[in-house]
A and B are shown apart, each in its own frame.
Chain A
């Protein structure tokens, strides 16, 4: 494996020597394609926003309409991720631990928000919750308005984020060791006590990861929200929509500023996920 002739042949010693050919070609193509499609355009965004500087970014973020949209996006995304955390855990638990007719179908359907184009989700949620829709009409009798209010945004983001929690938690639930439950029961714990004190703690890192994924996705979500949100400035206008609005007004610096702030939030969420996973590996959970 370490014969000198191979070392020279394979991409100038950058990669460990191997008899397998094609490193230079595939690695080079990977870097060029990644650079052209992803890194260069993102670098352009960073370059534009560095032209704005921190004071420029701060000025954009503190524009009342921008600040309102960032608050709306942030807090409703957080609330949606909390709802997804709770119901996602129940759905994952039910799909993994119980057997009942239709379980497989239900399991497959959890991925629907990944597969259904966001614009379709948007118009169908708007139709469901509008004052004459299936859910909107009965709720209107109680003076509850969902569509075209902040609640509509919440509903759309709950839809979008659910699979992230379910799919992150499911594999960990199925790996829970029966021995631990049995030991806990043998030592006198009630079922509820076993679930809360023995079975849920190992799920915590996965739950937190699922939560952060759902939250990060919600921050950037556009298609499913704009149809149901009503998009009232200062009230139910999300940050991604404001980017579009600013672009339509040829306010490229404004759009760039909002985009940079959103990128920072989603990268912070990503960093959190990596920290959680590193932390949970250290303590032996997956």
Chain B
């Protein structure tokens, strides 16, 4: 980017005699404006419009109707369940992310790249398939189904199944932010702390953690957004029992299918708001703490 602005300064400087020169590395202004217009129009149609209509529909009958949607006990139960699921799934994957990145980045052992590939695996599995595999393990016809039924434990069509499916789909988020970051930072600082007599845990708390805190927060943000918004995987294992096993996205689906548009979009506003906050914080971290996030392979 800075190269470009230098170029244009040169261009301005050399166009003193009324003749405009364009640096050879710059596109003609016709091409530039056409491409910018195409990109802006495409993003407006495909990204802005879907976001905008969530708010427009939610407030289409006034703020009163919007707020009524939250008086519904089923909606409140859905909000509580979503918070509960995220409160279990995110810390679980946070602890896993720390353990995985510590063992992968600070040690060398055979099969490391296979392990990293396996950690990324849930991202290439369809959410519906993610839900299905738990049905195959814990469902009525599943592997442990008969045993669980005999002991009165219900996992599928109950909260534990929703939590498990959510953990599955958000599994790699924290680990994949931390592994490249910690590999980049190496282990010299930790070795110094240990040599100077710090315990392993103290080294982690006072040396490693401050180094990775922004990357960690970044991973947790993305993990949380997905955990609260997951639909496909949760839909398969939930059973859609109103007030009991419906998360916010599932409640949105039910309301929408009942043609209760305002209520559906009112709950959707919560999720869209979450998405906007996540995007805002993510952009802030990338802008303010780019160095601390450096080294991560940007792919989702």
CB within 8 Å of B: which residues of A? Answer: 10-11, 14-16, 18-23, 25-27, 29-30, 33-34, 37-42, 44-45, 48, 87, 90-91, 93-100, 104, 106-128, 133-135, 155, 158-159, 162-164, 167-168, 171, 174, 178, 181-182, 185-186, 191, 194-195, 213, 216, 219-223, 227, 240-241, 243-244, 247, 250, 252, 255-256, 259, 262-263, 266-267, 269-270
Q: Is B75 an interface residue (CB 8 A)?
A: no
A25 and B201 CA atoms in complex are apart in Å by 12
B51 neighbours in A (Cβ, 8 Å): 112, 116, 124
Give 4 nearest A-B pairs by CB, closest first. Answer: A220-B126, A117-B229, A185-B24, A21-B200
Q: Are B236 and A244 in contact (CB under 8 A)?
A: yes
Partner of B35, one of A90, A121, A243, A262: A90
Nearest chain B CB to A5 CB, angstrom units: 15
Report, as a range, how many residues of chain B touch the other chain.
Answer: 35 or more
Tell yes or no: B96 within 8 A of A by CB.
yes
Contacts of B298 in A (CB 8 A): 167, 171
Contact B118 A39 (CB under 8 A): yes
A91, B104: Cα distance in complex, Å: 35
Q: Give chain B's interface residues, CB within 8 Å of chain A.
A: 1, 3-5, 24-25, 27-28, 31-32, 35-36, 38-40, 42-43, 45-51, 53-54, 57, 95-96, 98-100, 102-104, 106-110, 115, 118-119, 121-122, 124-129, 132-137, 139, 141-143, 164, 167-168, 171, 187, 190-191, 194-195, 200, 203-204, 222, 225, 228-232, 235-236, 249-250, 252-253, 256, 261, 264-265, 268, 271-272, 274-276, 278-280, 282-283, 298-300
Docked-complex contact B128 and A243, CB < 8 angstroms: yes
Given known contacts A26-B100, A99-B1, A20 and B35 CB-to-CB distance under 8 angstroms: no
Contacting residues, chain A, for B167 (C-beta < 8 A): 37
Whether the pair A123, B268 counts as a contact (CB closer than 8 A) is: yes
CB distance from A143 to the nearest CB of B (A): 20
CB distance from A226 to the nearest CB of B (A): 9
Residues of chain B within 8 A (CB-CB) of A107 are 283
B261 to chain A, nearest CB (A): 8
* Other A-B pairs beyond A34-B100, A222-B232, 13, CB < 8 Å: A26-B99, A41-B136, A94-B35, A106-B39, A117-B275, A119-B252, A122-B231, A128-B53, A167-B298, A191-B31, A240-B129, A252-B136, A262-B129
The reply to whether B268 and A124 contact each other, CB–CB distance below 8 Å, is: yes
Check A134–B49 contact: CB distance below 8 A: yes
13 pairs, A vs B, C-beta closer than 8 Å: A11-B109, A87-B38, A108-B280, A134-B53, A155-B46, A162-B47, A164-B300, A185-B25, A191-B31, A222-B126, A223-B231, A240-B127, A240-B128
